[in-house]
């Protein structure tokens, strides 16, 4: 018998985003590939975490998380999302929303079940399902405004369908699902008796329309597993603090799998986040949307000027741009060509599609401090004269 990796490992592939970040590092470029969010961490969050470390809050916590953060999240869920939940039995603090989704899949899905993803999708959603031996099914969001129909949902359903994943605002499309679309999904979920997973990590990054939590739609509370976290809102992607809100029927099993894989989210960082939620005023969250809409417009205007026509996102902090004019046989070659020419890293569109689609798209992330984003745009704009002359803006290698 020869040594080998598991079949599971063979089925999962390294994230294209990480690959691009490594390439960017090699050329000391500006990384608009990864959603690393290098803006400042709010002061109350930082200070409370430091105090917690100094005050000795450094041990394992209850798997569901410390009481102050569960309480703070429950209050925020009512205030912002309109969801009433019991902090004792319906809130689980996780190691990021990534951990929240993985633990939820293990608790609620069996091998061979199917879960519907909207495409273009976030790669971790797909790979988490694959790791849990759940088969993905796809509903295509049609560019440039990422529409779908109730018939599209029905076509994706089979007798094995157990769940559907909503990500609004969405990575990578920036789609903000409308109430009507969520109502279609709700009716579909009831008809097929599905669990609705909803990843709301970008809930405060909404520029057009408004954020609606699917659990607030009539009849949805029991079947909805709401996942979110503070990586993006507080610029703490490395802290790993997220959460799940769900009916108490599911919560214990989800907490159990969280315990098994991660034991608990980092204890002092739970306190930092709790304090941030409790102390930061409404204006903090409004400012996020105000600041990011400026970043969005700067990047989208730049891309328009050089002929990489963007689909202007309504939320989140990514832009999918039409890369047809870049040289290369596929989107990987196109994003590499752009990196070579400008030192600006993007992600190949193929990372967000399971079939051959996405080859003419590349994704940029604008969660950058203003200085770096302006420098990236300055470099991209150097391609403008060529775009205006109608010659290839990036040379073939």
Q: Are strands 30-31 and 344-345 parallel, antiparallel or unpaired?
A: parallel
Stretch that binds ligand PLP, among 67-75, 90-98, 150-158, 253-261 (CB under 6 A): 90-98
Structure tokens at 256: 């159990």
**Binding flag, residue 122, ligand PLP (CB under 6 A):** yes
244 versus 331: smaller Cβ distance to ligand PLP = 244
Measured from the CB atom, the residue of 207 and 337 that comes closer to ligand PLP is 207
DSSP 238: T
As measured in angstroms, the least distance from the Cβ of 191 to ligand PLP is 26
The two three-digit tokens of residue 333, written as one number: 């070659």
The nearer residue to ligand PLP, 222 or 372, going by C-beta atoms, is: 372
Dmax (CA) for the chain in angstroms is 64
User: Interhelix angle for 96-108 vs 123-131, to 10°?
Assistant: 40
Name the phi and psi angles at 10, rounded to 5.
-65, -30
What are the structure tokens assigned to 183, written together?
């109502």
Cα first-last separation, the chain: 44
> Is 235 one of the binding residues for ligand PLP (CB under 6 A)?
no
Say whether residue 39 binds ligand PLP (CB under 6 A): no
| 252 token code pair | 């214990």
Is 352 a binder of ligand PLP (CB under 6 A)? no
Q: Which is nearer to ligand PLP, 255 or 325 (by Cβ)?
A: 255
Applying CB under 6 A, among 31, 61, 81, 98 the residue interacting with ligand PLP is 98
Decide if residue 96 touches ligand PLP (CB under 6 A).
yes
Say how far apart CA 79 and CA 203 lie, in whole Å: 13
Identify the three-state secondary structure at position 138. strand
Which residue lies nearer to ligand PLP by CB, 98 or 311? 98
The stretch among 91-99, 252-260, 306-314, 350-358 that binds ligand PLP (CB under 6 A) is: 91-99
User: Which residues are paired to 164 by β-bridges?
Assistant: 116, 196
Among 61, 97, 226, 346, binds ligand PLP (CB under 6 A): 97
User: For binding to ligand PLP (CB under 6 A), which residues are involved?
Assistant: 35, 96-98, 122, 167, 171, 199, 201, 229, 231, 237, 242
């Amino acid at each position: 018998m020869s040594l080998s990796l598991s079949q599971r490992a063979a089925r999962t592939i390294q994230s294209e985003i990480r690959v691009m970040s490594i390439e960017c590092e090699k050329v000391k470029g500006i990384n608009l590939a990864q959603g690393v969010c290098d803006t400042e961490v709010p002061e109350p969050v930082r200070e409370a975490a430091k105090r917690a470390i100094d005050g000795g809050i450094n041990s394992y916590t209850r798997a569901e998380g410390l009481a102050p953060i569960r309480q703070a999240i429950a209050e925020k869920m009512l205030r912002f999302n309109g969801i009433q939940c019991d902090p004792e039995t319906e809130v689980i603090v996780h190691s990021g929303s990534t951990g929240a989704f993985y633990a939820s899949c293990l608790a609620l899905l069996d091998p061979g079940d199917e879960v519907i993803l909207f495409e273009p999708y976030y790669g971790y959603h797909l790979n988490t399902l694959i790791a849990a031996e759940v088969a993905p099914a796809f509903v295509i969001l049609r560019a440039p405004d990422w529409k779908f129909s109730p018939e599209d949902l029905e076509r994706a359903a089979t007798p094995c369908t157990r769940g559907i994943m909503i990500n609004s605002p969405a990575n990578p499309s920036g789609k903000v699902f409308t109430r009507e679309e969520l109502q279609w999904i709700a009716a579909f979920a009831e008809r097929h008796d599905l669990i609705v997973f909803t990843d709301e990590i970008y809930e405060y990054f909404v520029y057009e329309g408004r954020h609606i939590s699917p659990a607030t739609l009539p009849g949805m509370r029991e079947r909805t597993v709401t996942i979110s976290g503070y990586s993006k809102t507080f610029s703490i992607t490395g802290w790993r603090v997220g959460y799940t809100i769900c009916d108490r029927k599911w919560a214990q099993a989800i907490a159990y799998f969280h315990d098994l894989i991660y034991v608990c989210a980092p204890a002092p960082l739970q306190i930092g986040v709790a304090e941030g939620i409790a102390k930061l005023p409404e204006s903090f969250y409004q400012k996020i949307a105000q600041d990011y809409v400026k970043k969005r417009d700067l990047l989208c205007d730049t891309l328009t000027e050089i002929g990489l026509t963007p689909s202007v996102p309504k939320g989140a902090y990514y832009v999918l741009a039409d890369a047809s004019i870049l040289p290369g046989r596929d989107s990987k070659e196109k994003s590499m060509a752009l990196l070579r020419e400008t030192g600006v890293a993007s992600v190949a569109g193929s990372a967000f599609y399971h079939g051959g689609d996405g080859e003419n798209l590349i994704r940029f992330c604008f969660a950058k401090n203003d200085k770096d984003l302006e420098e990236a745009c300055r470099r991209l704009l150097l391609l403008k004269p060529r775009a205006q002359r109608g010659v290839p803006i990036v040379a073939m290698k």
